[in-house]
A and B are shown apart, each in its own frame.
Chain A
């Protein structure tokens, strides 16, 4: 096979330099796409290159990206959570309900995160303890969690969140830098470190590549997966906090369809949907790409439905192109 010729005894750490590996990576291709979209947008609309407009545009992806970071780990480990948008609905509803009983901002934060954590634990028990496939479990809880919100709220909405609560989704750190943008950066760094610099992250990759070998190597596979579901749950709770704060109200239809955009972001970021590979920098760039596309199209007054067509085409195109190249290269070679 591709065994090296008998190298006396010394085996080098790496064959290719770090630079050449980085240059050939998915992330660089994606970054090029992002730059291209940015440039096209600059020409397409005179309103694009405006600091405040660009700042507003970040709301297109910050909340989704927070969940996408945790989702990336989960998908790399070979599982998925499709209930994230419904967790947002349930967490937001719980906050609205608590508001009726006079909860303050601190309590609201606590409630949102706790509901997220509990929803994550609920998914985790079915997947890791009962061994059910996560796609089925979370399709079920997707309906379940949002269903509870509809039962509580019906056609109503909760309003009247306290002024201090608005800080999460409407606040600015400095100049045009939003509070959500700060959270986005902080979470990107935290998840990047977890995935790429810790033993836990290494276990995630090992499980995604081969759960049996990982188990046989002494990795506590089910425990790692349990934690990953807790993480997506908590991040969904945090996203619920930001989104509710930004909108200033809770409706049961809040964030509907967001789970697919989160998964799209993760896959666009180069995470293998079958598990085993992917990176947080990839997801960060994918978040910018999706944000730029939606914002650019928005400035051109393209309606939302058409926008989702573009996102879908972008996803399929970016994924299919390298595969197409490979097939064409093989054709040429033979």
Chain B
């Protein structure tokens, strides 16, 4: 009985923990793709609502990829990608001993990085940011995107390469 109830997404506790561990990533995932916070927020709601409605049919192991798929399909071909705006955690504030020149240089670099990120193809940007911001492993991203780990590695490699080329102005 106990295992059965744990196996069911319809259980409030199971559903709640699934939401807690995945909603932020679903949100970011959609945001990285389309650059629209509102749509990303809606996608989270929609995806988890769908999961709740189909809780009897979706096993907890499948639930994760289920919500990513739903969220992704929601805006597939519907909305045009907008410019992705990201913030930087102000870690530099603590290190005030840096020279102004260094800080300025760093800011310039960040601006370049921003531009480079915005111009990245959507799938490369998504992979790169999921890895860098959300700390997702390649395997996890592969599961979300429904492709092989190798394909994710390829995208990651290309993302880094393109970013470097953009920043160095090659």
The finding on whether chains A and B are genuine partners in a shared complex, rather than unrelated, reads: no
